[in-house]
């Protein structure tokens, strides 16, 4: 389980996260939606200390810390238990697909190279890129690069994979293959926290959808409820705007 309570993050005096309480069960698929600039990325980044939060308690598995007092060891533990999939893939340009997936196992988990490479080959099979083991990122399509990014997160065997708009940088033709891989992971009950604007993915795959605005969770619920009967006017406004540009889904007035 991963849980935050009273999470606050300020930038220059302004609270970008203004008291977030969130618990995700093992095997749960949670999608976060909300306008841009609302703190979604900052929330994900705080969960593995890419940003240092200003207040709150963080629980990941058997680790529980006051985030302002987290030691270096706590931060390493949080990073080992949360894997991150970035919008812009963040692959090493000078490493092959196989090496990108193996790197964390070697550096963070201290696996011998041969074992890490064997595991990376298994992952490449699972993400449908066995024939691209020796390819460098520049020779891969955006969709393939992001599948490697997801493969790297899979290799980490983290408690939760955090996805920050994993398809937003992709040309439209690559979106489905990345969403397809994420759907397979969801079907295997990999715990996932996904920030996305892909509403049909949220509707089909999420156990729970969270609407955030202004650094707060405004509303959350199962997708049928959040999309079909949103309670807060801010949720309704946001859904109407987003869905106007996407697949037609009815949002009641």
Ligand X SMILES: Nc1ncnc2c1ncn2[C@@H]1O[C@H](COP(=O)(O)OP(=O)(O)O)[C@@H](O)[C@H]1O
Work out whether 38 is an interface residue with ligand X (CB under 6 A).
yes
Minimum CB separation of residue 215 from ligand X in Å reads: 7
SS3 letters for the chain?
Answer: CEEEEEEEEEECCEEEEEEEEEEECCCCEEEEECCCCCCHHHHHHHHCCCCCCCEEEEEECCEEEEHHHCCHHHHHHHHHHEEEECCCCCCCCCCCHHHHHHHHHHHCCCCCHHHHHHHHHHHHHHCCCHHHCCCCHHHCCHHHHHHHHHHHHHHCCCCEEEEECCCCCCCHHHHHHHHHHHHHHHHCCCCEEEECCCHHHHHHHCCEEEEEECCEEEEEECHHHHHHCCCCHHHHHHHHHHHHCCCCCCCCC
- Pick one of 21, 23, 37, 90: the residue that binds ligand X (CB under 6 A): 37
First to last CA, the chain: 36
* Closer residue to ligand X (CB): 41 or 96: 41
152 binds, among ligand X, Mg ion, none (CB under 5 to 8 A by kind): none
Quickly tell me which residue has 């920050």 as its tokens. 164
* Closer residue to ligand X (CB): 174 or 211: 211
Work out whether 39 is an interface residue with ligand X (CB under 6 A).
yes
Work out whether 40 is an interface residue with ligand X (CB under 6 A).
yes
- Binding residues for ligand X, total number by CB under 6 A: 10
Minimum CB separation of residue 219 from ligand X in Å reads: 16
Sites for ligand X among residues 117-136 (CB under 6 A) = none
Work out whether 143 is an interface residue with ligand X (CB under 6 A).
no
Minimum CB separation of residue 42 from ligand X in Å reads: 3
- Pick one of 41, 48, 96, 191: the residue that binds Mg ion (CB under 5 A): 41
Work out whether 11 is an interface residue with ligand X (CB under 6 A).
yes
Tokens of residue 240, six digits: 């109407």
Work out whether 42 is an interface residue with ligand X (CB under 6 A).
yes
Nearest to 33 by CA among 218, 249, 247, 251: 218
Work out whether 41 is an interface residue with ligand X (CB under 6 A).
yes
How many Å apart are CA 151 and CA 98, to the nearest integer? Answer: 9
Sites for ligand X among residues 204-223 (CB under 6 A) = none
How many Å apart are CA 17 and CA 38, to the nearest integer? Answer: 8
79 binds, among ligand X, Mg ion, none (CB under 5 to 8 A by kind): none
9 binds, among Mg ion, ligand X, none (CB under 5 to 8 A by kind): none
- Pick one of 2, 4, 16, 29: the residue that binds ligand X (CB under 6 A): 16
Among 20-28, 39-47, 109-117, 203-211, which window interacts with ligand X (CB under 6 A)? 39-47
State the residues that interact with Mg ion by CB under 5 A: 40-41
Binding site for ligand X (CB under 6 A): 11, 16, 34, 36-42
């Amino acid at each position: 389980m991963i849980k935050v309570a009273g999470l606050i993050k300020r930038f220059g005096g302004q609270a970008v996260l203004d008291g977030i309480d969130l618990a995700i069960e093992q095997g749960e698929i949670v999608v976060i939606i909300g306008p841009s600039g609302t703190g979604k990325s900052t929330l994900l980044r705080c969960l593995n200390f890419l940003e240092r939060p200003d207040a709150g308690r963080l629980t990941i598995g058997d680790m529980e810390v006051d985030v302002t007092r987290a030691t270096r060891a706590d931060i390493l533990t949080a990073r080992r238990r949360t894997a991150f999939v970035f919008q812009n893939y963040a692959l090493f340009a000078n490493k092959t697909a196989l090496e990108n997936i193996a790197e964390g196992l070697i550096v963070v988990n201290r696996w011998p190279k041969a074992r890490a490479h064997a595991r990376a080959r298994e992952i490449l099979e699972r993400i449908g890129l066995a024939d691209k083991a020796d390819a460098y990122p520049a020779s891969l399509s955006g969709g393939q690069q992001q599948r490697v990014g997801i493969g790297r997160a899979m290799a980490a065997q983290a408690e939760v994979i955090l996805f920050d708009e994993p398809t937003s940088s992709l040309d439209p033709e690559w979106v489905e293959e990345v969403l397809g891989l994420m759907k397979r992971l969801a079907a295997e009950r990999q715990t996932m926290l996904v920030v996305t604007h892909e509403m049909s993915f949220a509707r089909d795959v999420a156990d729970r959808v969270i609407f955030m605005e202004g650094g707060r969770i405004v509303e959350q619920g199962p997708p049928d409820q959040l999309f079909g009967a949103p309670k807060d006017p801010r949720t309704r406004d946001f859904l109407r705007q987003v869905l106007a540009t996407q697949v037609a889904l009815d949002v009641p007035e």
